[in-house]
Chain A
Amino acid sequence: GAVVSQHPSWVICKSGTSVKIECRSLDFQATTMFWYRQFPKQSLMLMATSNEGSKATYEQGVEKDKFLINHASLTLSTLTVTSAHPEDSSFYICSARLAGVADTQYFGPGTRLTVL
């Protein structure tokens, strides 16, 4: 149980285009989902916290107009990278917090974004 999926697993796009990444909790409801970014051979950095039905909370230094987050249901959150540039190339990982279990997050497998 407690499986989180991401789609797509990898994506290549041209500079200036927008890319949407989906994060789904497959067998549980997640009132809160988190989006992280991982640079090659580095750690994960929290980008934003996404709560179902409300606006996302972004970490300092993360452009909310560039990284649009929507959490429309208890099982789906989306991250849209708008007007992507090569410096946005990274590994994006989501996690979902099991409703009612505050201290446990389940991570998705990640999405590799390459912007040409």
Chain B
Amino acid sequence: AQSVTQLGSHVSVSEGALVLLRCNYSSSVPPYLFWYVQYPNQGLQLLLKYTSAATLVKGINGFEAEFKKSETSFHLTKPSAHMSDAAEYFCAVSRGGGADGLTFGKGTHLIIQP
């Protein structure tokens, strides 16, 4: 079975500071991993995905994530936070082979301080 743990339900950073959102996964098969962002009253938007290619994945809006098998982690980072980054972020793992439904973490609410 697959599972995802996101450490920190809320993360607050200053504008211009580094953003680090943590995600650890558990998977019985080689995982497909995803980060999604959800703005208030909107659907989920894909930020980036890991599908067994390069371990450092670059996404939209300056975000990137590194897949570390030894640590079973897939943390999301952005060098410099912008006010528009304030949103809910979800890490997810595919049930199997990327073609199945997703198991989501509980989400991390990112707060940007001016």
Contacts and interface: CB of A to CB of B under 8 A. Distances in A.
B106 interface: yes
Contacts of B100: 49
- Counting chain B CB atoms within 10 Å of each CB, the highest count among A49, A102, A109 belongs to A102
Nearest to A6: B43
A93 B44 contact: yes
A104 B46 contact: yes
A103 B106 contact: no
Interface in A41-87: 42-46, 49, 59
B62 interface: no
B90 A32 contact: no
A105 interface: yes
B25 interface: no
A36 B63 CA distance: 25
A109 B51 CA distance: 25
Chain B interface size, under 10 / 10 to 19 / 20 to 34 / 35 or more: 20 to 34
A59 B100 CA distance: 12
Interface residues on A, range: 20 to 34
B103 A110 contact: no
Contact of A103 (B32, B43, B101, B105): B32
B97 interface: yes
Interface in B6-55: 32, 36, 42-46, 49, 51
8 nearest interchain CB pairs?
A: A103-B98, A109-B43, A102-B99, A46-B101, A107-B44, A43-B104, A107-B43, A43-B106
Given A46-B101, A103-B97, A106-B46, 17 more contacts: A4-B43, A42-B107, A43-B90, A43-B106, A43-B107, A44-B44, A44-B90, A44-B104, A46-B103, A59-B101, A95-B102, A102-B98, A102-B99, A104-B46, A104-B49, A107-B44, A109-B43
Interface of B: 32, 36, 42-46, 49, 51, 90, 94, 97-107
